[in-house]
């Protein structure tokens, strides 16, 4: 099964609607459901929006319109009994990776939920949480504050930067993150679900060791999906 996810580089809703229609058409043809991530880059300060990965600044209202356009395109073109889970995502590479940034993003996600309402589309939050890009204290603040506003699922589609691929002793990763912190971001926190970036054998081994270090005595850890290299 192939679900296409996107680092959003456009501010044109027509483009997003076309992308949503493409996924809906694919799901029709293969009688399958899909999970799609729309990554809108890192959050700017003071809740002003995000900076896309092509350095284009977008407002919160623009993000909401773009995500809603994707959902609309899917709804129009997925004419059979198929379903889309759409993760409206940010990352921890910018300024508002903090307790204040969590509610800001939760409100964006809830606005998209309220602006869609299609029976075949579910809207989730998302965050590409990577140890390389922020401290664990900032990331954990974002997570707890997000959950306080929107206790529904968010998908962590991040990586396990510099975590061990051969030891499960809750070792240090980088930038104040330990293996247990990566676990917390991806599964241990109340609303957290996992869709990690696994681009290599080493990446996979990192997640195996993280699971072994902290998850063995907790609830079973399952991945909703995994990211692979783009074409």
Q: What domain range is 81 assigned to?
A: 6-214
Residue 129 · residue 102 · CB < 8 Å:
no
Residue 89 is assigned to a structural domain of this protein: yes
Percent of the chain past pLDDT 90, that is, above it, reads 67
Residue 157 lies in a domain: yes
User: Is 222 within a domain?
Assistant: no
- The residue-averaged pLDDT of 83-92 equals 94
- Per-residue confidence (pLDDT) for residue 197, from 0 to 100: 82
Q: Is residue 166 part of a domain?
A: yes
Q: Is the pLDDT of residue 224 over 80?
A: no
Q: What's the number of domains the chain is made of? A: 1
Q: What is the pLDDT of residue 175?
A: 96
Contact criterion met (CB below 8 Å) for 40 and 9: no
CATH number of the domain within which 20 lies? 3.20.20
Q: Over the range 151-187, which residues count as b (16 or more CB within 10 Å of their CB) and which as e?
A: eebbbbbbbbbebbbeebebbebebebbbbbbbbbbb
Residue 219 domain flag: no
Mean pLDDT lowest among 12-16, 172-176, 215-219: 215-219
**Is the pLDDT at 87 greater than 90, yes or no?**
yes
Q: Does any domain span residue 120?
A: yes
pTM of the predicted model, to two decimals? 0.91
Average pLDDT over residues 134-157: 90
Domain presence at residue 224 = no
Strands 34-43 and 121-128 turn out to be unpaired
């Amino acid at each position: 099964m192939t679900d296409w996810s996107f680092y959003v580089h456009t501010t044109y809703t027509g483009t997003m609607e076309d992308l949503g229609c493409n996924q809906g058409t694919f799901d029709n043809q293969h009688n399958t459901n899909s999970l799609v991530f729309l990554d809108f880059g890192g959050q700017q300060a003071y809740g002003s929006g995000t900076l896309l990965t092509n350095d284009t600044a977008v407002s919160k209202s623009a993000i909401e319109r773009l995500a809603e356009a994707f959902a609309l395109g899917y709804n129009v073109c997925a004419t059979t009994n198929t379903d889309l889970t759409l993760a409206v995502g940010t990352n921890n590479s910018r300024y508002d990776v903090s307790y204040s940034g969590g509610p800001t993003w939760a409100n964006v996600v809830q606005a998209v939920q309220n602006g869609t309402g299609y029976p075949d589309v579910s809207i989730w939050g998302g965050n590409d949480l990577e140890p390389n890009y922020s401290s664990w204290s900032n990331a954990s603040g974002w997570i707890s504050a997000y959950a306080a506003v929107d206790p529904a699922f968010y998908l962590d589609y991040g990586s396990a930067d510099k975590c061990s691929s051969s030891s499960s002793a809750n070792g240090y990763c980088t930038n104040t993150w330990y293996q247990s912190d990566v676990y917390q971001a991806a599964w241990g926190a109340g609303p957290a679900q996992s869709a990690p970036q696994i681009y290599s054998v080493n990446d996979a081994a990192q997640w195996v060791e993280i699971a072994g270090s902290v998850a063995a005595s907790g609830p079973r850890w399952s991945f909703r999906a995994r990211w692979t290299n783009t074409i």
